[in-house]
Structures are given as structure tokens and as C-alpha cells.
Amino acid sequence: MTSFTGAQSRGTFLVVDDEPDILDAIARLFRKEYTVLTAQSVEEALKLIAAHDVQVVMTDQRMPKMSGIEFLAELREDHPEIVRVLFTGYSNISDVIDAINEGHVYRYISKPWKPVELRLFVAQAFEYYRAQRERRELMAQLREANEQLEEQNALLSAANEELKLLDRVKNVFMEVVSHELNTPIAIVFGYTFLLRKELGEDLSSVASKALSGIDSSAVRLKNISNRIFKMLGDDGSGEALDLEWVDVRKFVDSLQDQLDPFLQKRNQRLETVVAPEAQSILADEDKLNDMCLNLLMNAIKFSYDDQVITLDIGLSDDPEVLALTVRDSGVGISDDDIAQIFDVFFSTFNTGHHSSGQFEFNKRGIGLGLAVAKRFAEMHGGYIKVDSEEGRGSLFTVYLPVRPEQQTLRSSVQTRQLAQHAPH
Ligand SMILES: Nc1ncnc2c1ncn2[C@@H]1O[C@H](COP(=O)(O)OP(=O)(O)OP(=O)(O)O)[C@@H](O)[C@H]1O
Ligand SMILES: [Mg+2]
């Protein structure tokens, strides 16, 4: 058993022959290029294979206990990766052909060989080994990628199932909101109306106060149920838009009218600026109104008494896109919260500031306002950007195409969501 190591070994090559002269000749021929191991018997060869990382085995067919083909067939079972080469005289050629056809042997070389030819054969055998190894590695990578894909697929379908379930829950919830909640609310209104009529002038101050309390609570309940319904009822597909040309100036005046009572109570002022170029926009006026009211009510709630809120409407850098900006100098939004403020039901609820109205300082609601505003902006093919500093105030800018096209709405809803929460 001998081993020769070349200075720059390109692999390990095992030669098996019972004639030491032949082993010696082959070792000399290859030792500069490969690590050459030699064995005079199958037993020796197997020991060497067990101890080394052998890539190519070349064996003589005529061996004392076992033929070269038998040895290579066995080797194939235990080490299929090793490239098997046979060298033999012409006499056993039919056995060799069978061996090659059965896949036990990669090549055969006839004795006596020409050194140039043998070098070429051996180089090819090593090349074949490398190609096979690469193939195996690629296959392993592919299998791994496949397994990962299957895992992700399983996760996706689980998530899908969960979504379907949530969707069913949502539908049930919608029914509860629209029927189970709205019906009793309507009944409460009916009874307070009746009672007022019945008692007429006899209404004591306590009864009057109680009736007003019942009424205003019912209004609040109705508002909440309406907003939940709005949020869950529209699937954002753009189908529910009722587009018409909206006169921006008139629209702003109407906002001012709606907000005046709240502004007065807080002694705040709403300053509005409408750029001359921003005269009209094609939009669903009700949704536009809701969106602006939500932003402005937030500005009122999260500003201090006596402060000024501004509403600025003009064209953005793109003349086809309107920019509607609501600015306040109120409490601002913390970095932790800003990523979540557009989420449904996200409200930085603070029991210390909880009060019954809608506009008192720092009054948190149920966290639907911005989710509704975002949804409506997206339905118009637009998006909302927020910029805020805690303690300094907030700036919400809604970008809306002047002429939203139904076809483009769907894609813009998806592509714009990423930009949505990012402050400057
Ligand atoms: N202008 C603002 N200044 C400071 N914080 C704001 C402002 N607008 C929104 N926020 C923060 O974002 C949260 C979510 O706002 P959103 O309008 O969705 O809900 P809400 O006002 O709490 O309740 P709702 O609008 O449903 O009555 C608020 O609770 C508040 O913490
Ligand atoms: Mg709000």
C-alpha cells in the first residue's frame, strides 16, 4: 500500500493491481497532479477508501480473489460517488461491455495503454467526478429550497384559512353592527321622542337632563356603529365611489360650518387656504368630507385650547395631484406610535383624558378615524403622509389625483401602502 502526493494535488486517485511494477509506473505518471494511492488487493483498496476521500478508482480486471468488475460493482453500492475506471486486456472485452452497460464502470482502458491516452482518461474521470459533485450539490440546494417553499406554502395556506375565518367573523360582525346595534339605537330614539311628546311642558329639569343624556349617548353609539360599518363595509376596491366634480372652495366652507361648534368650544380657529389653481376635484364628496373631518377632528382633539389649525389645499408638484394639508401645533405623535396610527382600532387610549365628547383635549376615540381616512384616500387613488413631532404638532397631507380613474385605483391602493406611514 503506497501513497504519493503531488505538490498540487487535483484529487485522490486509487489504483488497484496485483502487479507492483504497474502500480509504480502509474504512480510515477500521476503523482505530480494527483494524490495517488496504490493497492495490490481489493482488501487493501477498501481500507484506503475507508481512510481517504478517494474520487477516482482504477482497477485491473484480473485480480486474485475477485475480478475488477465485481469489485467495482460492489464499490458502486457503498460509494456511488466514486468514479470507477477499469483497465484490462482485450481478452475480456465482452465482460467489460456488460459492466459498462450495467453502470458499474465509467470507462475502461485497454492494456497496454499509451501514457498520453491514460492521462486524458484520468483527467476526464476527475472532471466527471467534479461535474457529478456539483450536480449533487445543486440537487441538494434545490431540495432544500423546495422544502422551504413547501413550508412557506403551508404557512401561507394556514394564513389564508385564518383570513377566510376572519372574513367570516367580519361579516357576522357587520351584521351585528348594522342590525343588532342600529335597531335598538333607533328604538331608544323612538322612546325619547315619545317621552318628550308625552311629558310636553311638564318636563322637569331632571327628566329633561336625563332625556338629553340618553339622546346624546344614543347619538354617540350610532356614530360609532356608523364608522365601524364604513370601515368594514367598503372593501377598498373602488367600486363604491360616487364621483362628481367638487368645488373646493365650497367644500372647505362646508367643512368650516361643520366644525365651528367644536372649534368654538375649544376656542380654536381653523385657517383655510385654497390655492387658486385648486378649484375642483373629481371625488366622492361624502367620502372626501369624512376623510377631512376625521383629520380635522383629530387636529382639534390633539391641539390645546386657543390654538390655530390650518387646512391648506393646493396642487402638489404634479399638477394632476391635489395636496390637502391639515396642520396642528398640538401634542404630536411619538415615534413608537406613528407606524400604527393608521391601523384599525389603534388609539392611544388614555383613561386620564377620557371624556364623553368628541373633541375635548386629547380625547381618544376608538381608533377608526385615520383608518377610514386612509381607506378613502386609497379608494380615490391617493395616499396620506404624516409628519409629526411629539410636543410640537402634526402635519397630515393627503395626495389625491384631480381625476381619479377607476382602473388605476386598485393598483394604487396596493403600491402606495408602503409609503403610507413613513414620516419624512
Ligand atoms: N393630529 C394628531 N395629533 C396627535 N395625535 C394624533 C393626531 N391624529 C391622530 N393621532 C393619534 O393617532 C391615533 C389614531 O387616530 P384615529 O383618528 O384613527 O383614532 P381616534 O381619534 O383615537 O379615534 P376615532 O377617530 O375613531 O374617534 C389617535 O388616538 C392619536 O393617538
Ligand atoms: Mg380620530
Domain-wise residue ranges, the chain: 2-113, 170-233, 244-420
**Which phi-psi region, left, alpha or beta, contains residue 135 (left: φ > 0; alpha: ψ -120 to 50)?**
alpha
What does the block give as the cell for 349?
387610549
Phi, psi of 82 (to 5 degrees): -75, 135
C-alpha distances in Å from residue 264, one per residue of 174, 261, 268, 299, 304: 35, 5, 6, 14, 13
Return the CA Rg of the chain.
Answer: 42
Region of 332 please: left (phi>0), alpha (psi -120 to 50) or beta.
left
Quote the pLDDT of residue 356.
47
Q: At what angle do helices 115-175 and 205-233 cross, to 10 degrees?
A: 150
> How far does residue 371's CA lie from ligand 1's centre (Å)?
10
Determine the Cα–Cα distance for residues 72 and 87; give it in Å rounded to an integer: 12
Q: Tell me how far apart the alpha carbons of residues 74 and 61 are, in angstroms, rounded to a whole number.
A: 14
Residue pair 219/161 in contact by the 8 Å Cβ criterion: no
| Closest residue to atom 31 of ligand 1, CA basis | 348
CA 375 to chain centre: 20
For residue 20, say if its preceding peptide bond is cis, omega within 30 degrees of 0: no
Which ligand 1 atom is the nearest neighbour of the CA of 227? Answer: 26
Classify residue 103 by burial, with Cβ atoms within 10 Å: 0-12, 13-18, 19+. Answer: exposed
Could you give the count of Cα atoms lying within 13 Å of 279 in the half-sphere of its Cβ? 2
What values do phi and psi take at 311, rounded to 5? -125, 120
Largest CA distance in the chain: 131
End-to-end Cα spacing for the chain? 75
Residues around ligand 2, an ion, CB closer than 5 A: 298, 369
Query: If you measure from the C-alpha of residue 359 to the centroid of ligand 1, how many angstroms do you get, rounded to a whole number?
Result: 11
Q: 362 in the Ramachandran plot: left (φ > 0), alpha (ψ -120 to 50) or beta?
A: left
- Given this model, what pLDDT does residue 207 score? 84
Residue 168: exposure state from Cβ atoms within 10 A (0-12, 13-18, ≥19): exposed
Closest CA to 330 of 368, 298, 373: 298
What is the model's pLDDT at position 228? 76
Please give the pLDDT value at position 90.
62
For domain 244-420, the CATH superfamily is Histidine kinase-like ATPase, C-terminal domain (3.30.565.10)
Q: Of the CATH numbers 2.160.20.60, 3.40.50.720, 3.40.50.300, 3.40.50.2300, which one belongs to the domain with range 2-113?
A: 3.40.50.2300
Q: Please tell me what DSSP assigns to residue 52.
A: S
What stretches of 32-123 adopt beta strand conformation (E)? 35-39, 56-60, 83-88, 107-110
| pLDDT of the residue at 220 | 81
CB of 348 sitting under 6 A from ligand 1? yes
Tell me the β-bridge partners of 269: 308
Ligand 1 atom nearest 371 alpha carbon: 18
Please state, in angstroms and rounded to a whole number, the distance separating the CA atoms of residues 234 and 372. 10
Q: Which three cell numbers mark 148? A: 422551504
Cβ 368 under 6 angstroms from ligand 1: yes
For the four alpha carbons of 344, 255, 400 and 174, in that order, the dihedral sign comes to positive
pLDDT digits (tens, 9 = 90+) for 54-85: 999 999 988 888 888 899 999 999 999 999 99
- Closest CA to ligand 1's atom 8: 298
- Helix (H) / strand (E) element for 418: namely helix 417-420
How many Cα atoms within 13 Å fall on the side-chain side of residue 123?
9
Work out which ligand 1 atom sits closest to the CA atom of 332: 4
- What atom of ligand 1 comes closest to residue 303's alpha carbon? 3
Residue spans of the chain under pLDDT 50: 236-238, 351, 354-356, 406-424
Q: Which of 226, 231, 292, 298 to probe ligand 1 with, by most ligand atoms within 8 A of CB?
A: 298
Q: What is the pLDDT of residue 216?
A: 86
Mark out the alpha helices in 176-247 (DSSP H runs): 182-199, 205-233
